[in-house]
Amino acid sequence: MINDYRDALYRPRLKFLRLVSEILHFQKFPKRSRWTKWSEIDSYFSLLSTDLYFSNFRRSKLLIETMDYQNLDAKNYSKLLKFAGYKEPRFGKPIKPFMLRNSLNAGHQFRHLINYSESTDIEIKSFKRIVEFGGGYGCMRWLISNLGPEARYEIIDNPGIKMIQERYLRSSLNPIDFARTNWNLSIDVLKPKLDTEDLFIGLWSVSETPTDLMIEILETLDKNSCGLLLAFQHDFNGRDNRAYFNKYFKTAKRREISYPVGNLHSTYIFR
């Protein structure tokens, strides 16, 4: 009963802390609308890496709404991280449920890795290189640095988002792990090219790209034998992504995504 009560309080607490943060720390942050261009939004992310905002960047409305998962269905995975001895860095003041050492977003990322290993019987640490397409603020990179510390890590992302990732990871990783982290603007510039010793992670990011680029990435991934941890939403801005993703990866394993329970909205692809 106590846990149920605390869970009920989490959403109001999240809303309150975000509001206070907006009033106290983000008064000068640019406002965005549905008409804001992506290039402007990308520059907004770069602002989160500056001294003015970095100390509270995890409480930014922009970040919470785009790359900081806040649904309580991830709580049990956050607990698993806690029991395994992992403690998320406090940089940016993440909002955590009561009594947890890790945010819901950290648990959410851990959930993907657990689902991958359970479905494929492949451990993340067995890969020599991880390539993440769309790295959020860097949470997955931080997590994998604990689970597979020897792997090289490549992030493919936009310049503005790279700036907040770089500052967060420079702060939260040890120098050796940070030195193993590299950034790229596209999948085409990866050196060496993807192979069997690599794991490609694209959690909703590939399915949120423009159609031509999405098809190009899918065809590239389909032609090589790298590991895959993909997730795509069935509908993105009116585009039926199933019509595209179902054409590729015929031998890969798939698992429907339904969280919160009963809300079937996406599909995992594991290889």
What CATH number is associated with residue 172? Answer: 3.40.50.150
**Number of domains the chain contains:** 1
Q: How far is CA 204 from the centre of its chain?
A: 9
Cα–Cα distances in Å, from 169 out to 165, 225, 266?
6, 29, 29
**Residue 165 in contact with residue 141, Cβ under 8 Å?**
yes
CA atoms within 13 A on the CB side of 258: 7
CA atoms of 35 and 95, how far apart (whole Å): 29
Mean pLDDT of all residues in 143-152? 89
Tell me the pLDDT tens digit for each residue of 210-262: 999 999 999 999 999 999 999 999 999 999 999 999 999 999 999 999 987 78
Tell me the pLDDT tens digit for each residue of 187-202: 999 999 999 999 999 9
Is the model's pLDDT at 80 over the cut of 90?
A: yes
CA atoms of 216 and 238, how far apart (whole Å): 20
Mean pLDDT of all residues in 19-40? 93
Mean pLDDT of all residues in 85-112? 94
CA-nearest of 210, 208, 206, 209 to 248 is 206
Is the model's pLDDT at 112 over the cut of 70?
A: yes
Is the model's pLDDT at 17 over the cut of 60?
A: yes
Q: How many CB atoms lie within 10 A of CB 9?
A: 13
Q: String of b and e for 33-44 (b: at least 16 CB within 10 Å)?
A: eeeeeeeebbeb
Average pLDDT, the chain: 94
Sequence-ordered list of residues with C-beta below 8 angstroms from that of 91, at least 6 positions apart, any chain: 54, 58, 168, 171, 172
pLDDT attached to residue 2? 57
**Where residue 98 falls among pLDDT bands split at 50, 70, 90?**
confident
Q: Residue 85's domain spans which residues?
A: 1-271
Cα–Cα distances in Å, from 115 out to 61, 167, 271?
29, 29, 12
Positive or negative, the Cα torsion across 71, 75, 78, 80? negative
**Where residue 3 falls among pLDDT bands split at 50, 70, 90?**
low
CA-nearest of 140, 171, 144 to 67 is 140
CA-nearest of 37, 181, 252 to 232 is 252
DSSP code at position 128 = S
CA atoms of 172 and 123, how far apart (whole Å): 23
